[in-house]
Structure 1
Amino acid sequence: MYSDRALVIGAGFAGLLAARVLSESYGDVVLVERSVITTDAGHRAGIPRAHHPHPLPARGAQALEALFPRIGRELENAGAVRADLGSDFLHRFPNGPAPRDHLGLSVLSMTRVTLDRIIRRRVLRLANVSLVDGVTVEGLLHDRGTVTGVHGRRGDRPFTDYADLVVDASGRDSRLVSWLAELGVHCPAPRIVNGHVTCASRLYEVNRDLELGWKNACEITHAPGTRRGGAVSSVDGSRWLVTLFGADGDTAPADDDGFLDHATSLRCPDVAEIVKTATPASAVHRSGNLRNRWNRFHQVPDWPRGLLALGDSVVSLDPVHGHGLTVTALNCAELRALLQDHDLAAEPLTFQRAVAKAARFPWTFATTADLGWATRRLPVRARLLRWYSGRVIAAIPGHRRVYRAYARVSQLAGHPVTLLRPAVLFRVLLGGKLSGRRPRATAP
């Protein structure tokens, strides 16, 4: 047995951030990763959705900067593109485009490969953090209600490692629920909301001949009538990441002709122009079943000591809404704060409750949108949220104040009550009656 030792399952974004936080409180931190990490470049099989956009909104960037000072500048030096959500963003809603005024609220866009490479480099420079890769964890070691380590295989050999604290950061494919069941600890059934959304993404080399007047663009799907959408992110300095969305059975295509046809059907012609004229830099990668799932670990009364879970292992959100990285970064910020006053190995539910609290609004935001595609009758609260969010989206074109409030809330940078303040509420409820002239796009 070891003392003062923490073990993190998974060396993706969540695991790396958790290791960074734990390095301040534990003498030895070990990352245990299923994939073999032999180079700083390339996609890893352990992150199947890494080919799709992973924007880092303002609040997520702020949380990341607190853990890794000057990380924003380092990401930009590596090619990440910072785009203001107003002046640099072409955001098209079903009723028309959002105003293009400068908001002072930005998004960092990069490929997931670049993000993980920079953060992994930072974390593995820490003297008390180490990485053991190529390990398939198959279960938890335990003793009288306390998790004491993990067991599994590394190649063709058994693998066993002990720790005072085990953190599951293994993501959407986490097997923690079944591992706990093997210990006699049973979790409530997860909450699942499936928007039946698919997305297909492809990288393109930037075509300098196209003068687009924006850095990022997004055309949203919106129930019940807008089943197709798309997005373009400027990433890694000289590339565009084009992503097409299909909802309610309208599947995003993975073949060249279908990809172009889908892009051409969007109301933003720039997306199709990129697909037609820019040089592809990757194959088309498609993902389906983009559901929302919440494992309610905070409701397990006999949750074992010595075990924490965070990130997508607990709450995995439909990535179309772009909240995953931010929620994970906020989990790790909360972990850092709680470790100052609590022995979380002895009080793990203190942390799991904090994770649940942080997830409430992102969960509501994502599922309110995705429940629009549901065929069953929704509860009254869900219907009210759907109704009001629909009014907000309808009011955005032509209303700077509504879009500013919506942008802050959707980026988790503002409290949801912002959308109920009188100046916003008045415009939302009157809708098009106050729209008047729509503001012209400003130069980037």
Structure 2
Amino acid sequence: MNESAPQADMAEQLAASSFNTASRAIVIGGSMAGLLAAKVLSGHYEEVVIIERDEFQERPANRPGVPQDHHPHRLQDLGKGILEALFPGWREDLLAQGAYEREGKEMHLISPLAALQFPYEKDEGCSRPLLEWVIRRRVAAEPRIQVLQGHVAVSLLTKKAGSKLAVSGVEVRKQRSGGSRDLEAALVVDASGRYTRLPEWLEELGFGKPVAEILHTRLAYSTRYYRIPDSLKDRYSTVLIEGDPSLAEGSGVFSPIEGGVAETTIYGAGGHYPPVDPERYERAAAKLIHPMLAEIIAQLEPVGNPRGFRVSECRLNQYGEMPEWPSGLLAIGDSVCNFDPIYGQGISVAAAEAMEMGKALRKAAKENGPIREHELQRRFGRIILPAWWTIVVADLRWPGVTYEGSLSGRGIRFCQEYLDIVRRQALQGGDMELFGLLMGVQGLDAPPSSLFGEEAVRMVVSRSKQDAWLEKQLEAGETLGDFLERSFPVFHPASHSEANR
């Protein structure tokens, strides 16, 4: 990949190239979802072009296209496994760049129910810019991948494919000059993120807009960095303080990263925004349900002022359910569904989608047939569903959060109460087997049925002696199996760890 070539010249060369565009794929967006997609595509296309509006820096740095990159990011086990499959040794790359090694150090998990300490398994603490920079360097080593920086996708190019319309490329424009070029390709993957223009483009092409489920979160972060002296660098590893959302109690995070600094974050939703003023920030830390975060930062030197980040809504675009979908087009990552970042699901879901795309491309090549983009988009929806359902259930606990969509209100309320029982049994009852199961489902590494299937629900209710509660949830003559079937989504096998095979 050539990142140093003059970008206007590169755009002109790509547009004028005699290269067989049937062997070219285009990815709109060079963030994590776009990088993962490009890596997978490079195994199937002779040329992959990433179109990115930002200009990349030589070293890890915040950039305008990722406004949330100042704030903590997490990778679930599912995502870590996929990154290792695509980029073997990426974790060692992080450590070589100064990432904080968490392995063997204590994690503190503090909730209204209990305070737990347990050692980390293999894990690294790093900023979002460092994670993206490490992965981008790996992608840069791929000779088939080009990055067109400082350019935006203006519209989709189309052509007739029999009686139907197919996407055949994109019109790109240099960010500052206004000049545009047409780039043709056999496949276009939209990985442009939560601000995607794809719904409008589809409508302009006559396909209509996708039905969207919307979670009106009105969530916000406030993050401040602190320098950790050598004398304290191993005293505190990650600290997670969870408030009670139903009481509008915020959460707090302390997380060491590279460079001898720690990210600290205060989080709220439903319009309960944490402060960005330095003095008020530290007072807000002291008002969390446990003083540990405030006690830690009192010993540290701040690096700059707190910075805020707000998300008015999380949106799931139901592309797979549209009546028609053009061939030659896919959407991936936040372009399809953007999550509440506090749960650390977005990168892992995008990674699973990229792997599912790779399976579809291998099948198409083996059968010498089409990719079947619309069916693949439906499979992306199955991968997304467990993570989406998790954030809807969790965030609706906050006063002021509302939801527009097809998920059952009765099922959501049942799940909220049931998860309270699960947490009490796991944390206060010391049921570590159940705690591990809960972490596996929340981390997208175990199927939802392992916790929310009929057999699992009966097991939890029996262990916690909540049979009377369960009876109250069911209507006269209704069985638990019937209720779960009517009130819970259908989770397909591709919606969890099978996606990374």
TM-score by length of 1: 0.90
Name the SS of the counterpart of 1:127 in structure 2: coil
Cα displacement (A) at 1:93: 1.3
- Summarize deviations over 1:279-309 as a string: whole Å, max 9, x none: 2234322111253210000012321110011
1:402–1:428 Cα contact (<8 Å) kept: no
Aligned equivalents of 1:60, 1:282: Cα separation in 2: 31
- Structure 1 equivalent of residue 380 of structure 2: 355
Computed over aligned residues only, the root mean square deviation of the Cα atoms, in angstroms, reads 2.4
- Summarize deviations over 1:348-387 as a string: whole Å, max 9, x none: 1122011101011111111100112256797211111111
Cα displacement (A) at 1:191: 0.4
Distance 1:103 1:46, change over 3 A: closer
1:132 lines up with 2:154 in the alignment: no
* Seq. identity, %: 30
Moved more, 354-363 or 32-41: 32-41
Of 402, 408, 414, 2:440 maps to 408
- Structure 1 equivalent of residue 96 of structure 2: 77
Higher relative contact order (CA 8 A, sep 6+): 1
Of 31, 43, 46, 2:50 maps to 31
The aligned runs of 1:63-102 (5 Å cut-off) are 63-83=82-102, 88-98=106-116, 100-102=117-119
The aligned runs of 1:93-112 (5 Å cut-off) are 93-98=111-116, 100-102=117-119, 104=121, 107-112=123-128
Distance 1:364 1:340, change over 3 A: same
Cα displacement (A) at 1:161: 1.1
- Summarize deviations over 1:177-214 as a string: whole Å, max 9, x none: 11111111113331011233211112211134448754
Aligned equivalents of 2:244, 2:289: Cα separation in 1: 14
- Structure 2 equivalent of residue 419 of structure 1: 451
Aligned equivalents of 1:383, 1:107: Cα separation in 2: 34
Aligned equivalents of 1:162, 1:10: Cα separation in 2: 16
Aligned equivalents of 2:293, 2:47: Cα separation in 1: 48
Cα displacement (A) at 1:392: 2.1
1:218 lines up with 2:240 in the alignment: yes
Cα displacement (A) at 1:81: 3.3
> Which consecutive residues of structure 2, in runs of 5 or more, have no partner in the other structure?
1-19, 468-501
Aligned equivalents of 1:273, 1:64: Cα separation in 2: 35
Moved more, 208-217 or 31-40: 208-217
- Structure 1 equivalent of residue 474 of structure 2: none
1:199–1:246 Cα contact (<8 Å) kept: yes
1:94–1:226 Cα contact (<8 Å) kept: no
1:148 lines up with 2:168 in the alignment: yes
1:409–1:415 Cα contact (<8 Å) kept: yes
Distance 1:211 1:311, change over 3 A: closer
Distance 1:241 1:310, change over 3 A: same
1:227–1:248 Cα contact (<8 Å) kept: no
Of 294, 315, 320, 1:293 maps to 315
Cα displacement (A) at 1:35: 0.8
Name the SS of the counterpart of 1:143 in structure 2: strand
Aligned equivalents of 2:465, 2:225: Cα separation in 1: 40
Name the SS of the counterpart of 1:257 in structure 2: helix
Q: Which amino acid aligns with 2:147?
A: L
The aligned runs of 1:305-320 (5 Å cut-off) are 305-320=327-342
1:419–1:425 Cα contact (<8 Å) kept: no
1:381 lines up with 2:415 in the alignment: no
Aligned equivalents of 1:174, 1:246: Cα separation in 2: 25
Aligned equivalents of 1:424, 1:64: Cα separation in 2: 34
Cα displacement (A) at 1:411: 1.3
1:93–1:393 Cα contact (<8 Å) kept: no
Of 221, 224, 229, 2:251 maps to 229
Q: Which amino acid aligns with 1:223?
A: P
1:206 lines up with 2:228 in the alignment: yes
1:290–1:318 Cα contact (<8 Å) kept: no
- Structure 1 equivalent of residue 496 of structure 2: none
Cα displacement (A) at 1:83: 3.6
- Structure 1 equivalent of residue 31 of structure 2: 12
Q: Which amino acid aligns with 2:33?
A: A
Aligned equivalents of 1:427, 1:87: Cα separation in 2: 31
Distance 1:115 1:101, change over 3 A: closer
- Summarize deviations over 1:93-112 as a string: whole Å, max 9, x none: 112213x34575x5443101
1:201–1:243 Cα contact (<8 Å) kept: yes
Distance 1:69 1:382, change over 3 A: same
Q: Which amino acid aligns with 2:181?
A: F
Aligned equivalents of 1:265, 1:46: Cα separation in 2: 33
2:34–2:191 Cα contact (<8 Å) kept: yes
Aligned equivalents of 1:168, 1:301: Cα separation in 2: 19
- Structure 1 equivalent of residue 129 of structure 2: 113
Aligned equivalents of 1:393, 1:237: Cα separation in 2: 36
Aligned equivalents of 2:147, 2:375: Cα separation in 1: 27
Name the SS of the counterpart of 2:385 in structure 1: helix
2:222–2:265 Cα contact (<8 Å) kept: yes
Aligned equivalents of 1:345, 1:235: Cα separation in 2: 44
Q: Which amino acid aligns with 1:148?
A: S
Aligned equivalents of 1:211, 1:134: Cα separation in 2: 39
TM-score by length of 2: 0.80
Name the SS of the counterpart of 2:182 in structure 1: strand
Distance 1:107 1:175, change over 3 A: farther
Aligned equivalents of 1:346, 1:406: Cα separation in 2: 36
Moved more, 150-159 or 249-258: 150-159
Bigger radius of gyration among the two? 2
Query: If each structure's helix is expressed as a fraction of its own residues, which one has the higher value?
Result: 2
1:56–1:108 Cα contact (<8 Å) kept: no
- Structure 1 equivalent of residue 202 of structure 2: 180
- Structure 2 equivalent of residue 269 of structure 1: 291
- Structure 1 equivalent of residue 358 of structure 2: 336
1:190 lines up with 2:177 in the alignment: no
